[in-house]
Amino acid sequence: MKVYTASLLGIDGFLVEVEADLSRGLPDFRIIGLADTTIKESSERIRAALKNLGYPLPARRITVSLSPADLRKEGAWFDLPIITVLLSHFLSRPMEKRLLLAGEVSLYGEVKPIRGALPMAEIARREGLDGVVLPRGNAEEASLLQGVPVYAVDNVQEIIAYLQGEALAPVQRREMETKPDYELDMGEVAGQRVAKRAVEIAVAGGHNMAMVGPPGAGKTMIAQRIPTVFPPMERREIEEVTKIYSVAGLVKNSYITLRPFRSPHHSISPVGLIGGGRYPRPGEISLAHRGVLFMDEFTEFQKQALEGLRQPLEEGRVVVTRAGYSVEFPSDFMLVAAMNRCEDRYGGLEVYECSPAERKRYYSKLSRPLVDRIDLWIEVPRVEIGDILRKGDFPRESEFMRERIIKAREIQKRRFQGRGYLTNSRMGSKDIKKFCPIPPEGEDFLKTAGEKLGFSARSIARVLKLARTIADLEGQEKIKLTHLMEAVNYRRVERIIW
């Protein structure tokens, strides 16, 4: 007698076979096969639940084995498959279908929701099983996946009834809603032409951006509206993002169809931001996958959290290493940082200017490599009251921005054919050589500007990528001097920091 379940690794996992053996000998109940303590602990719960259901463990030597035996397994959802395989023995009813089961079971036999239901359904589909049995609370999330029947149970009695010949009721499949519907619009932000232009360029080319300005300038307001100018998520992106939320236990009944916007507080721990933990969970950078990670008061985050951003920003994924194994989560997000000016610490008086030492202290947590990964730096001044009152001057601005962005992204899709969701910001040096030739009139300009602003070789490369995006927004095949000039402009604020 055999049932199936799964163990998760990141947003994927592997199929686990659960078998039970009852033999004569000293009464004993053990779970073998590299089961983690979370599974071992469930043996007492399983014993109690079975007793309360009227099926106490017989005085035999009972061994539940999990295979493959050489892969470490963890999860509270092993309760349900283990109970099922035991009941199948007690009732002498073999499982007719090849089912993947997952669920945490209470002492009284209620089946409680788990995390990772969606990846589990995917594993069942991949392995060609006949279906997946999940807690009712997770069924809807898993049923959005096509190609594998999903059954929901509320309690173990339903499993007993199934083993005695009753059919499991499949969950109704739902159509995936992919049309995004945002309540916010960039048009609600009065003025701020520079910031909006920067947003357009940043989203078009997949660049990160930073806004520096006094409190009340509208930085948060702008950031919250950035997801509305992205192209709508494609089906593949939706599935990927929803899987991350499923593993984090954050799916509420539907696929995630809106671009994520995450805005963690600056007090967040490095693990909370980057991901990890004893049982590795996705961090905020993965919850922001394919969307926006807004880091307000950027200078106030823990140094270790900020440094942890570097690798994921480079690679679009994060690898969490544990003793003996490592887990990977996707983390391809757009970083939007916001911070006050140094001066704002001293009341934001116009007459006050920070000394280089004060500046150095204020921006001390922002390392050169981190700053280098943010292509656009802009100052966001306060908007005049009159401008704010004269609102409603540009309804549906997000839609117009989005249309231009989609065009620029289509150019990149053709440019980087077959390379996934690659955007200009992630071009390697070969790509830069090929796609970003410096125009003759741009060479002198770059040299002079670079010297004045203290550009490194890396800064130059980033300027070229940014110029590439600006040219793409204009539909220009060649980068021109004006594109370079605008790109350099966005790296000027970097000087505030050094």
Ligand X SMILES: Nc1ncnc2c1ncn2[C@@H]1O[C@H](COP(=O)(O)OP(=O)(O)O)[C@@H](O)[C@H]1O
Contact residues: Mg ion, CB under 5 A: 220
Distance CA 371, CA 496 (A): 12
Distance CA 241, CA 247 (A): 10
User: Residue 191 binds which one of Mg ion, ligand X, none, with CB within 5 to 8 A depending on kind?
Assistant: ligand X
Stretch that binds ligand X, among 131-139, 184-192, 257-265, 268-276 (CB under 6 A): 184-192
Note whether 136 binds ligand X by CB under 6 A: no
Shortest CB 235 distance to Mg ion, Å: 34
Q: Is 474 exposed, middle or buried (0-12, 13-18, 19+ CB in 10 A)?
A: middle
Stretch that binds ligand X, among 133-141, 186-194, 202-210, 421-429 (CB under 6 A): 186-194
Note whether 218 binds ligand X by CB under 6 A: yes
Note whether 216 binds ligand X by CB under 6 A: yes
30-59 residues near ligand X, rule: CB under 6 A: none
Stretch that binds ligand X, among 75-83, 187-195, 302-310, 476-484 (CB under 6 A): 187-195
Distance CA 33, CA 19 (A): 11
Residues 382-401 vs ligand X: string with x where CB under 6 A?
-x----x-------------
Write down the residue that tokens 């007492």 correspond to. 44
Candidate residues 192, 331, 424, 459; the one interacting with ligand X per rule CB under 6 A: 192
Stretch that binds ligand X, among 168-176, 219-227, 307-315, 463-471 (CB under 6 A): 219-227
Shortest CB 135 distance to Mg ion, Å: 39
CA distances, 448 to each of 309, 410, 432, 488 (Å): 32, 33, 21, 11
User: Residue 383 binds which one of ligand X, Mg ion, none, with CB within 5 to 8 A depending on kind?
Assistant: ligand X
Shortest CB 6 distance to Mg ion, Å: 42
Shortest CB 297 distance to Mg ion, Å: 8
Note whether 191 binds ligand X by CB under 6 A: yes
Residue type, position 487, single letter: A
Shortest CB 343 distance to ligand X, Å: 14
For ligand X, give the closer residue by CB, 122 or 344. Answer: 344
Note whether 215 binds ligand X by CB under 6 A: yes
Tokens representing residue 438 in the block: 């410096």
Q: Which residue, 280, 284, 281, is CA-closest to 267?
A: 284
- Residues 483 and 445 sit within 8 Å (Cβ to Cβ): no
Shortest CB 70 distance to Mg ion, Å: 50
Size of the site for ligand X (CB under 6 A): 14
Note whether 341 binds ligand X by CB under 6 A: no
**DSSP H stretches of helix in 392-480:** 397-415, 429-435, 440-453, 457-473
Distance CA 483, CA 146 (A): 46
Distance CA 301, CA 400 (A): 34
Note whether 337 binds ligand X by CB under 6 A: no
DSSP assignment of 96-140, as one string? Answer: SS-EEE--EE-TTSBEE--S-HHHHHHHHHHTT-SEEEEEHHHHH
Distance CA 308, CA 315 (A): 12
Paired strand residues for 22:
62
Note whether 186 binds ligand X by CB under 6 A: no
For ligand X, give the closer residue by CB, 118 or 190. Answer: 190
Note whether 219 binds ligand X by CB under 6 A: yes
For ligand X, give the closer residue by CB, 82 or 195. Answer: 195
Tokens representing residue 34 in the block: 């590299």
Residues within the interface to ligand X (CB under 6 A): 189-192, 213, 215-221, 383, 388
